[in-house]
Structure 1
Amino acid sequence: MPDEMKEIFGEVTRKPPYDPELAPFVHVFGDTRSMLSYDQLPAIRQTTAQTLVTGKPLDLTVDGKVTVEERQVPGPQGAPDITLLILRPSENLGPKAALYHIHGGGMFVGDRRLGVDALLSFVAAGKAVVVSVEYRLAPEHPDPAPVEDCYAGLVWTARNTTELGIDPERLIVVGGSAGGGLSAGTALLARDRGYPGLSHQVLMCPMLDDRLQTHSSHMVEGETSWDRRSNLFGWTALLGDRRGGPDVSPYAAPARAVDLSGLPRTYIDTGSAEPFRDEILDYAGRLSEAGVSVDLHMWGGAFHGFESLAPDTGVSRASLATRQDFIRRAVES
């Protein structure tokens, strides 16, 4: 590890053991952190896309049960338009819940299609409309561009609920990893700007804290899909020299928010052996203290992204079933 990384992190701290079924997947990505640099970003993005796309292309129509549309909508004031991927049930059975999806990717990779497969079943069953936002990526577009893009897409969705067949009382923001952090930041913006109202937020292993001062942020190095070097790279791409300093907005790093009252009912989860663990546990506790209804799940022996990499293991099946059940209850409420 370079000397400057040691100055930031200190020594690697102790972590819980990996779940025995997940252990064979810990080194699947190799030590990809060695190539993390701005010069290598095009290659990183291409490699990530190739790694995440396996088998045949995803059928977003689910054999005709889902209509697929991409639409350009206004971005933040003074910024370019943004693209929304809109997935609606082919059969119109009245207003449905909206699952407003924000993709992951460490703030520097990914696109609007990444992760929507987890929500397709709700659209195909006629229970929800999915709107997935294409936000600008760091470092080319640092904070506040990503979260403001996400908020702009949410505002457009809320203003067009009638056209989209959405029940405005059931707006649910959903995101994983960096998308989970951006979902939390978007929910804070919606609360503080007074629009739109959200019924739920689903934060899957969210990236919440740029300060990298927790025990868990120091405990994974050279293993799994996301370690402490990846974390430093992602936050620095988003925030530059502001990372870890006093001038970071809670909309960029929601762990910095002092007041968590007035936020929607929350689902939040983490693995016990991932860098985001401690910031997630703290955020969930403070949400609950602020009077927010919180469903918190920590999965023993699980690393970041375990359900995607090893979906057939016992802990992944349990995690996915629990999360899907929460979303089902949210869209049907």
Structure 2
Amino acid sequence: MIDPEIAAAVDFSRPPLTAAGIAARRASNRVVTDAELTRDGSVTFTEEDADGVPVLVLRPAGSAGPPVLHLHGGGMVAGTRRSDLHVLAEWVSQLGVTLVSPEYRLAPEHPHPAPVRDCYRTLMWMARNGLASPVVAGTSAGGGLAAAVTLMARDLGGPAVRGQLLMCPMLDDRCETPSSHQFLDGTTWVRASNITGWTALLGDARGGPDVSPFAAPARAADLSGLPPAYVDVGSVDVFRDEAVGYASRIWQAGGDAELHVWPGGCHGFDQLVPEAALSRRARATRMAWLRRTLYL
């Protein structure tokens, strides 16, 4: 059951995403304003070029702290470098981080590996420009890309990553977990929408034997040697079981992971209803991990 405070504030009647509906979904996305980014003057931002990838860089108005690479959500088919930052700009204002958000290319016009290559290119640009060893963070599709970029950094010899913050991450193209089958309607991202997003990214390869872990990180055979992970997800989310499974496999490989399953949370609940009590708890817990990882 969805948390009552969140259920009262969210319209769950939106139909599942289809391939034909991608353009309309993009057009309907929330536009984050300059005022939301600057948070009453405590944050500044610039538009920069990361080796051909447009990026938005948020910095505290005072002295800048350690970097975070943030990868936006949107099911691999929607979103911009401003997406999600109406909430996540608080990392800059409250923790003093420098946050870099790239405009990675979107499927289906740009299928795998274009999106993750853009994100990895941004990580390399950061390493060369005084923003080395970031936490790599992402929401939904961005959470999957954050996990993938972290795997790439391990497998391709860098750049260094300090931690991975995976918020309701989109990790598994096979869509065969119990939660993937459980939520067919009545929530914010349902099974049919998930299949549409993965098919846009992978085409006919989706669910087959040859999908790269850099596209679907749940496919990685080995999760050892990764930096500390924070994984969180709502209990009413198609991604619940793949998120739990990913954190569990990090532990089984001897790694460090902190896992939270928020009771009554639908997909993206803390972005949709940021002032709900559950959302505030989730954001505060996430910020505490980020503070420890960046500053201790």
Q: If the TM-score is normalised by the length of the shorter chain, which range does it land in? A: over 0.9
Match of 2:96 in 1: 127
Q: CA deviation at 1:57?
A: 5.3
Match of 2:39 in 1: 62
- Note if contact 1:136-1:145 (Cα within 8 Å) is conserved in structure 2: yes
Match of 1:118 in 2: 87
Counterpart of 2:246, as a letter, is Y
Counterpart of 1:65, as a letter, is S
Q: Distance in 1 between matches of 2:5 and 2:277?
A: 8
- Note if contact 1:119-1:130 (Cα within 8 Å) is conserved in structure 2: no
Counterpart pick for 1:214 among 156, 177, 181: 177
Equivalent pairs counted in the alignment come to 296
Match of 2:187 in 1: 224
Any idea what SS the aligned residue of 1:60 has? helix
Q: What pairs with 1:119-198 in structure 2 (closer than 5 Å)?
A: 119-125=88-94, 127-161=96-130, 166=131, 168=132, 170-198=133-161
Distance 1:202 1:126, change over 3 A: closer
Match of 1:106 in 2: 75
Q: CA deviation at 1:326?
A: 1.3
Match of 1:45 in 2: 26
Match of 2:295 in 1: 332
Match of 1:72 in 2: 49
Once the two structures are superposed, residues 37-84 of structure 1 have per-residue CA deviations (whole angstroms, 9 ceiling, x without a partner) of: 33332222112x2xx248x6543233333331111222xxxxxx2101
Distance 1:286 1:86, change over 3 A: same
Match of 1:18 in 2: 2
- Note if contact 2:87-2:271 (Cα within 8 Å) is conserved in structure 1: no
Once the two structures are superposed, residues 166-196 of structure 1 have per-residue CA deviations (whole angstroms, 9 ceiling, x without a partner) of: 4x3x410010100000000000001101111
Gaps of 5+ in 2: none
TM-score (norm 1): 0.84
- Note if contact 2:80-2:103 (Cα within 8 Å) is conserved in structure 1: yes
Once the two structures are superposed, residues 265-312 of structure 1 have per-residue CA deviations (whole angstroms, 9 ceiling, x without a partner) of: 000011112101111111100001112111100111221111122233
Match of 2:262 in 1: 299
Higher mean C-alpha deviation, range 276-285 or range 322-331: 322-331
TM-score (norm 2): 0.94
Any idea what SS the aligned residue of 1:245 has? coil
Once the two structures are superposed, residues 251-277 of structure 1 have per-residue CA deviations (whole angstroms, 9 ceiling, x without a partner) of: 100000010011110000111121011
Identity, % of aligned pairs? 49
Q: Distance in 1 between matches of 2:245 and 2:39?
A: 38
Q: CA deviation at 1:315?
A: 2.0
- Note if contact 2:19-2:196 (Cα within 8 Å) is conserved in structure 1: no
- Note if contact 2:69-2:101 (Cα within 8 Å) is conserved in structure 1: yes
CA RMSD in angstroms comes to 1.8
Q: Distance in 2 between matches of 1:272 and 1:64?
A: 36
Match of 1:6 in 2: none
Q: CA deviation at 1:223?
A: 1.8
Q: CA deviation at 1:125?
A: 4.6
Q: Distance in 2 between matches of 1:118 and 1:155?
A: 26
Match of 2:15 in 1: 32
Higher mean C-alpha deviation, range 272-281 or range 202-211: 272-281
Counterpart of 1:31, as a letter, is R
Gaps of 5+ in 1: 1-16, 75-80
Counterpart pick for 1:84 among 55, 61, 66: 55
